[in-house]
Structure 1
Amino acid sequence: MDFEGNTQRIIESIKQAKAAGAKLRVGPELEICGYGCLDHLLEQDLYLHCWKMLEILLKDKELYDILLDIGMPVLHRNVGYNCRIICLNGKILLIRPKIWPANDGNYREMRHFTPWLKPREHEEYHLPRMIQKLQGSTHVTFGDAVISTPDTCVGAETCEELFTPDAPHNHMSLDGVEVITNSSGSHFTLRKLNTRLDLITEATKKNGGVYLYSNQQGCDGDRLYYDGCAMIVVNGEVVAQGSQFSLNDVEIVTATIDLEEVRAYRSSKSRSLQAAKSTAKYHRIQTSFELSSEEDDGDLSRAPSVAIQPRYHSPEEEIALATGAYMWDYLRRSKTAGYLVPLSGGIDSCATATMVFSMCRLVIQAIEDGNKQVIEDVKRLAQYNEGKLPKTPQELCNQIFHTVYMGMSKQSSKETRGRAKELSEAIGSYHVNCDIDEVYNAQRNLIVSTLNFEPKFKVEGGSNTENLTLQNIQARSRMVTAYQYAQIIPLARNRPGEGSLLVLGSANVGESLRGYLTKYGCSSADINPIGSIDKSRFIAWAETNFSLPCLHNFLTAVPIAELEPITETYVQSDEADMGMTYDELTTFGRLRKVNKLGPFGMFQNLVHQWGEDRTKTPEDDGPSYTPRQIAEKVKRFFHFYAINRHKMTTLTPSLHCNDYSPDDNRFDLRPFLYPPFWSSWSFKKIDRELEKIEKRAKGGVKK
């Protein structure tokens, strides 16, 4: 929704592209308004503002002499389309609507746009009056067409169209289109870049041609981080690749292409026969503008770009860089004073704190690289005298990151308190060590005084209801205390401005699935960086790569909530409370969401995956259970998943990193009121299948 800011970034990208000698510039999907506008895309104001910004671009003669591919929404005959505007020298050559919208997972494009349902057809579009004056005409071509220049032919596809089986680039390539652009709003999930690169290289290996991929980069006001990585691929080989995670507002990627290589690559007879037979013919919009020049002949400085090895980050690097870049965007754009984390001494809050430290590392690197926008934001956020900037991540961390250990005299151990302090010192956060016994006792005594009933923990002889009540008092007291500190700490520290701190959550993806959290308790926060990741591998990686040896103690510690009193014979354990391990929860989560399995399907899958009589491979390190044990585990998971679904609707928004995220508000749309699963048909089916398996086993027949 930053129309003017986006337009200035588009202008800067075009100027940089021209300075680099480029003749064709491709920008991200819906770049004028931003991809993540959601239901603002239903507002007529937004369409009007986009046309006004396009008018600014068309009027600017400094942006002439380069073919421009710009993204914005367009209303055609009262129907909204997600479009590419192909422009040259202040005129629109073509408005190309998206054919195959993204409409699953995090994407809701068909809520906001209609797909162009007439491939390779075109109509006349009636231009707004402000554009008619510049165009010198009232209409322009609207539809699935291509641009023909004296030296080549250029076509456009948009984001999701690359991922479809019958992708437009196949038909365009067979019709002689040599340069294909893809303008994308593709969000980050772990290893998704691998999929994109595989698809683009495969498309150009099979068809030949030049493929220009542009993607939005950064936080666009929602749970998603768009991970950039613009690239240029020729005949199946990458010749240019941009950064995947960066704090730069504008980044361009250029390459010099020899079109004769495309023609030679396409000379195979089988491909030529298919091209000659193809009936998929595109309307060509003619222009005299050339992407190449005869004047460049013999200029060795204009040699074609050579193939490079694609650059991939490890999953742990992706987590560190994506969360760091997202959190910096969120912080600077929200105009708040910094972050606060309730640091419990456990691995979850440790992971959140380490991600903030990763953010600070990225910011320091950007300062060293001379990033003017980052330097300006740091000066606003942090209190530095005489223009001095922080030299280390710890210096920056101390200014904008705050950690609070909120202990209880009977429940909290000296180990967790010590780990929290040690981590705070290692990363440089401003740390507060406090106890909340008085707050807790005040709430507990309210029950005693008003109900004449004294609740007790289970280890003290209390019931399960009493035990949960007392645990939830602590969890909710910690939430209130965290927000209390977030509001007042900047003032107490004499920080500049009047902004409060954003509270970061630390509810991991497994606990959210299982519902092992207190609704409106310490899981509640402003944003949750770890809400859709498995954090252990990231912490193990950060221990070495961030030089934080204290992280080892978090990895080896037993996960404990510390909401029940510690005795000589009892210490609360998360996995014992849940009745399943975190690894098992990860498996349940993937099968439920990614594999789309219900209880019965999950049981059938796990009998083979976890069965004690399976043939193990060296890579198989999964557990071994009997079919009956597997049935009980599946039932237990779905039982608690169902009865705790109401908690999912209030989960703190988390950065989306995994395709089994339980985010109810955007990604994982399920009912939150279920019939009792224990008496459901699904569970009866499991019982009947289990009976068959056990009967076969008794009869000596191996399943």
Structure 2
Amino acid sequence: MKYIKVGAATLNQTPLDWKGNKKNIITAIEAARADKISILCLPELCISGYGCEDTFLAFGTLVQSQQVLHDIVPYTKDIIVAVGLPLSYHNRVYNTVCLLVDGKIGGFVAKRFLPSSGIHYEPRWFHRWPQNVHSEIELNGEHYPIGDIYFSCGSVRIGFEICEEAWVANRPGIKLAEKGVDIILNPSASHFGFGKYKIRERFILEGSRAFSVSYIYTNLLGNEAGRAIYDGNAMIATGGQPLANSKRFSFSDYQLVSALVDVDLTRMSQARTSDWVPDLTNRIRIPFDYPQVSPSQNIATLPLWEQSATIKEEEFTRAVSLGLFDYLRKSRSQGFVLSLSGGADSSAIACLVRLMVELGVAELGIKDFCAKLNYKLLPTTTITDLVKSLLTCVYQATENSSETTKLAATSLAKGIGADYMILNVNALVKGYVQLVSTALKQPLTWEQHDIALQNIQARTRSPSIWLIANLRNALLLATSNRSEMAQGYATMDGDTSGGLSPLAGIDKEFLRHWLHWLEHEGPLQLSPIPALTLVNQQAPTAELRPKKMEQTDEADLMPYHLLNIIEKAAIRDRQTPYEIFCLLQVRCQEYEDEQLLFWVERFFNLWTRNQWKRERFAPSFHLDDESLDPKTWCRFPILSGGYAEELAEMKERAKQTTQN
């Protein structure tokens, strides 16, 4: 039996942060060496960062990436390390992985399958490397193999599937298995999505079984570039069996997992064929001995929260908490400011900041948590002290605000320990209304000017909350959710004001459910937040009309659960209005057909006329594959025909069905 200790390290990188990225890479390599790991896999494009966008095409980015690569090389004595970087070859840029072996460059594998959907836009920057093509590249006077290749290191064959390549039908692992590869490394930059880790686990386990190899997968960690959150999922498997799993959503700079794999065992089920392969056995010394110890050390366990029945709630909590933490420290802000209305959205954000502190301190300890935020530690600093320092909540009342929301906001702010203040902006609202009314020489009434009178209240709240954020050098958080984003149910330069919109990637139906869960149960090993009671007792309302009008969000739009169904069908599944009407007839039988037709028409009318708002929303987190962010996911024309013919067809076909 030939045991080899292999490892995978997840890294929390930042695009174009050459110093920080290099430090994390070297730290992970040194930790791997201390753990007697022989082969280490690091994430895709970890030298430059994955989210460099169009700067991948900048000459300076490529030069800096190569410089960092050469800086890392000396740290790879006595170890094999796979590290990702962009590389120019024949005036084309490729997404590559460099195999470093015992302090030397072994060669470069270039990515063949490039993702082009959703948040991924790789074909804009990188060229696809053709199958079975291998060549040489010259760097600093030295020649190295490059292309669709694998390596022989000390009689062990190492191949690659780079992120997307494991998700396609014709995955490279099929050919690698035919060539007798012993170990497949998968350096990835796979953004978080609800339940996505289960899909990864399947292709890793199945790949290790079907290809008769040991499979080493690693991913990025944290909020790398602003929108995408990476869960830091790393896994090692052999013969269809998991050997090691990393902790997901870690607040650390890196996570390292290792396992012992038996090369002879996987070879027993392979049929080797000959092929050209860079043989590094002779030209590069492999001085380390493979540890001959029992593989019983391999333990692949999942945290308890990943085994719970509320996995989506747990993932949402941990993903957004980590996203907020990295966004805060990487933007060099000194805290968050939030307009806390006492409603569901702003209350959810306030709770997530509290959870960010609790989760971060639980893992890092208060001292290291504060150090990562560049926060001056006080002798008696507690979690509540940190929340009060990092989160400022402001309730801004008008004559249309109720005591219910005021009490809900006050109770929650005090319950989570936020800094809290109350402003009354009613005089400012009346001043604007009077100013414009006088200029127009006409009174402004709710009967004639409903939307304008609602919007001026939301916009009047913006200057003061921005002023507080500026004074505290803090990041203002916008409060809109995805359901409102779909319908334009938000005031531009009002409740959309902010530098980050943490909830714009999640629907209102889930948020309301999550808040009830947080009130009564909460994340595993953390306490629930009973101060949410008054928030959860209310029907969602903007409180912008006079109280006697009894405004609610669902009356203005439609029931949120129904809105969620229509949005998924229309945007994710691209169904026509009539197809959606038929779907609702089956799934929402408690409503009359006439009402369903009205709501479908309302959805498409509001969707098409409000694309300009979606274009202006603050950056949001990607939490699933149903994002409405037009900059990175769901593109729609600002001006369009508005589905006029499709809606007319829906009504006509529904009418004919009724008559028949």
In structure 2, C-alpha distance between the alignment counterparts of 1:283 and 1:366, rounded to whole Å: 47
Q: For residues 328 and 40 of structure 1, what CA distance do their matches in structure 2 show? A: 25
C-alpha separation in 1, matches of 2:302 and 2:179? 30
For 1:145 and 1:572, locate their aligned partners in 2 and report how far apart those are by CA, in whole Å: 64
Question: 2:634 maps to what in 1?
Answer: 668
Report the secondary structure of 1:74's partner residue: strand
Distance 1:528 1:282, change over 3 A: farther
* Deviation (angstroms), 1:290: 8.9
Change (3 A) 1:441 1:628: closer
Q: 1:318 to 1:581 in 2, by over 3 A?
A: same
Equivalent residue, structure 2, for 1:620: none
The separation in 2 between residues aligned to 1:555 and 1:207, in whole angstroms, is 51
2:597 matched to which residue of 1?
A: 631
Corresponding residue SS for 1:211: strand
Alpha-carbon separation, structure 2, partners of 1:356 and 1:308: 29
Equivalent residue number for residue 597 of structure 1: 575
Contact 2:338 2:392 (C-alpha < 8 Å) held by counterparts: yes
Alignment of 1:244-323 (within 5 A): 244-264=248-268, 266=269, 282-288=275-281, 296-297=291-292, 299-300=293-294, 303=296, 305-306=298-299, 308=301, 312=306, 314-323=311-320
What percentage of aligned pairs have identical amino acids? Answer: 27
State the shift of 1:626 in Å: 4.4
Of 517, 524, 527 in structure 2, the residue corresponding to residue 541 of structure 1 is 517
Number of residue-to-residue matches in the alignment: 631
Q: Secondary structure at the match of 2:278?
A: strand
Which of the numbers 433, 441, 445 marks the counterpart of 2:430?
A: 441
Would you say the 8 A contact 2:245–2:302 is kept in 1?
Answer: no
- Per the alignment, residue 532 of structure 1 pairs with 505
C-alpha separation between the residues in 2 aligned to 1:423 and 1:308?
Answer: 36
CA contact (8 A) 2:221 2:254 kept: no
Q: What does the per-residue CA deviation read over 1:320-342, in whole Å, with 9 as the maximum and x for residues that have no partner?
A: 11111111111112122210110
Q: For residue 555 of structure 1, what is the aligned residue in structure 2?
A: 536
CA contact (8 A) 1:23 1:291 kept: no
Q: Which deviations, in whole Å up to 9, do the C-alpha atoms of 1:243-288 show, x marking residues without a partner?
A: 1101100221111111233234x26xxxx5xx77xxxx75311122
Q: Which residue of 2 aligns with 1:34?
A: 49
Q: Distance in 2 between matches of 1:448 and 1:225?
A: 47
CA distance in 2, matches of 1:471, 1:309: 49
Deviation at 1:681, TM superposition (A): 2.4
544, 564, 569: which one aligns with 1:586: 564
Could you say which residue in structure 1 is the equivalent of 2:6? none
d(CA) in 2 for partners of 1:509, 1:259: 49
8 Å Cα contact 1:210/1:262 also seen in 2: yes
* Greater Cα radius of gyration, structure 1 or 2: 1
CA-CA distance at 1:32 after TM superposition? 0.5
Of 243-252 and 545-554, more deviation after overlay is shown by 545-554
* Residues 365-444 of structure 1 aligned to structure 2 (within 5 Å): 365-368=362-365, 371=368, 374-378=369-373, 380-382=374-376, 384-385=377-378, 388=379, 390-392=381-383, 394-408=384-398, 410-444=399-433
Partner of 1:99: helix, strand, or coil? coil
Inter-partner Cα distance in structure 2 for 1:260 and 1:431? 64
* 8 A contact 1:628–1:690 mirrored in 2: no
Matches within 5 A, 1:67-82: 67-82=80-95
For the 8 Å contact 1:320–1:538, the answer to whether it is kept is: no
SS in 2 for 1:80: strand
Q: How much has 1:68 moved relative to structure 2?
A: 1.3
- TM-aligned CA deviation for residue 36 of structure 1: 0.7
> Is contact 1:69–1:87 with CA below 8 Å preserved after alignment?
yes
> What letter is aligned with 2:587?
Q
Task: Determine which structure has greater relative contact order: mean sequence separation of CA pairs < 8 Å that are 6+ residues apart, divided by chain length.
Answer: 2
> Is 1:649 equivalent to 2:615 in the alignment?
yes
TM-score, structure 1 normalization? 0.86
Q: Supply the RMSD in Å over aligned alpha carbons.
A: 2.1
State the alpha-carbon separation in 2 of the partners of residues 240 and 99 from structure 1: 27
Q: Which residue number corresponds to residue 226 of structure 2?
A: 222
CA distance in 1, matches of 2:325, 2:642: 43
* Helix, strand or coil at the partner of 2:51: helix
Distance 1:249 1:316 in 2: 24
1:336 aligns to 2:326 (yes or no): no
Match of 2:12 in 1: none
SS of structure 1 residue aligned to 2:52: helix
Aligned to 1:494: none
**Whole-angstrom CA distance in 2 between matches of 1:599 and 1:199:** 36
CA contact (8 A) 1:181 1:211 kept: yes
**TM-score, normalising length: structure 2:** 0.91
Quickly say closer, same or farther: Cα 1:39–1:636, change in 2 above 3 A.
same
> What is aligned with 1:571?
550
Q: Which amino acid aligns with 1:233?
A: A
Instruction: Give the deviation of 1:23 after TM superposition.
Output: 0.7
Partner of residue 683, structure 1 = 647
3-state DSSP of counterpart to 1:51: helix
- Alpha-carbon displacement from aligned partner over 1:417-450 (angstroms, at most 9, x marks no partner): 0010000111100001111012111111111221
* Pair 1:469 & 2:452 matched: yes
CA distance in 2 between partners of 1:604 and 1:673 (Å) = 27
Q: 1:296 to 1:509 in 2, by over 3 A?
A: closer
Match for residue 615 of structure 1? none
* 1:507 pairs with 2:480: yes
Amino acid at match of 1:644: N
Query: 5+ unaligned residues in a row in structure 2: which ranges?
Result: 1-15
Cα contact 1:214–1:230 (8 A) shared by 2 = yes
Q: Does 1:25 align with 2:40?
A: yes
Distance 1:596 1:237, change over 3 A: farther
Stretches of structure 1 that go unaligned for 5 or more consecutive residues are 133-137, 491-499, 613-623, 697-703
Contact 1:593 1:659 in 2 (8 A): no
Instruction: Give 1:405's aligned amino acid.
Output: Y
Match in the other structure for 2:169? 165
> Cα 1:291–1:552, aligned 2, differ >3 Å: closer, same or farther?
farther
Q: Give distance in 2, aligned partners of 1:564 and 1:431.
A: 25
Are residue 13 (structure 1) and residue 23 (structure 2) matched? no
